[in-house]
Amino acid sequence: GAVVSQHPSRVICKSGTSVKIECRSLDFQATTMFWYRQFPKQSLMLMATSNEGSKATYEQGVEKDKFLINHASLTLSTLTVTSAHPEDSSFYICSARGVTGLRDIQYFGAGTRLSVL
Amino acid sequence: AQKVTQAQTEISVVEKEDVTLDCVYETRDTTYYLFWYKQPPSGELVFLIRRNSFDEQNEISGRYSWNFQKSTSSFNFTITASQVVDSAVYFCALSSNDYKLSFGAGTTVTVRA
């Protein structure tokens, strides 16, 4: 099956620092990767859509300068939370959509729990 | 705009009971895809099933089955003979040609031994 690796699984940082989260598709090439945010006991909210080699498309209300997304290859997308603050503490989860087969299915990483002190 | 509604917040059953999760969706698109994902306590989302808008055939896959009714915009999911390992949050989701997923609020399923 399709495997998506997300790293790190948990990060604790001080307010004002930047945190980078990696999302890799391990056994398939991902045309598109998506980044979601999930608050405790809530649903997933789409933050941005990332296409390889082009700028990410952000959902309304998501600050693109705050959440920098880079999709350098068909297997890697990164999300950088810049100058993190306590309100950025959340569960961030990425997904990847393949280029062949069932292209409408998104496979998810295990998520990154960010805690900003 | 797309919307997915999971009216059931929590369901608690005893092992071996069947569990049916309700999902109602709204979309103006004629082509769309419906999904069920499972999120165990560890956090990752596990893909379970997918259906496209042109295929209303309902199927059974192991202990999972689904009932897609386009006329009522519903995509219900059933776990037969539930097991403790089925305890998780289950999300119904909808996407169209842009492949962006709109998730329901989730239903927490607790299966007691």
User: Do B35 and A105 make contact, defined as CB atoms within 8 angstroms?
Assistant: yes
pLDDT of residue A97: 87
Least confident interval from A14-23, A25-34, A76-85, A96-105? A96-105
Q: pLDDT (tens digit, 9 = 90+) per residue, B78-95?
A: 999 999 999 999 999 999
Six-digit token string for A39: 């608050």
Distance between CA atoms of residues A47 and B51, nearest Å: 24
pLDDT over 70 at A5, yes or no: yes
pLDDT category at A30 given cuts 50, 70, 90 is confident
Band of the pLDDT at A41, cuts 50, 70, 90? confident
A–B: how many Cβ contacts below 8 A?
Answer: 55
Query: Is a pLDDT exceeding 80 seen at residue A25?
Result: yes
**Mapping DSSP to helix (H, G, I), strand (E, B) and coil, where does residue A12 land?**
strand
Q: Measured between CB atoms, does A76 come within 8 Å of chain B?
A: no
pLDDT band at A101 (very low <50, low <70, confident <90, very high): low
Q: What is the pLDDT of residue A74?
A: 87
Contact B70, B53 (CB under 8 A): yes
Does any CB of chain B come closer than 8 Å to the CB of residue A108? Answer: yes
Which residues lie across from B61 on neighbouring strands? B64
Average pLDDT over residues B3-26: 97
What is the rounded distance in angstroms from the CA atom of residue A67 to the CA atom of residue A81? 5
Q: Output the CA–CA distances (angstroms, integers) from residue A40 to A45, A111, B16, B74, B112, in the order listed.
A: 12, 13, 29, 27, 23
Alpha carbon distances (Å) from A113 to A18, A39, A40, A49, B23: 14, 10, 11, 20, 28
Phi, psi of B9 (to 5 degrees): -85, -45
Contact A94, A49 (CB under 8 A): no
A54 within 8 A of A32, measured Cβ to Cβ: no
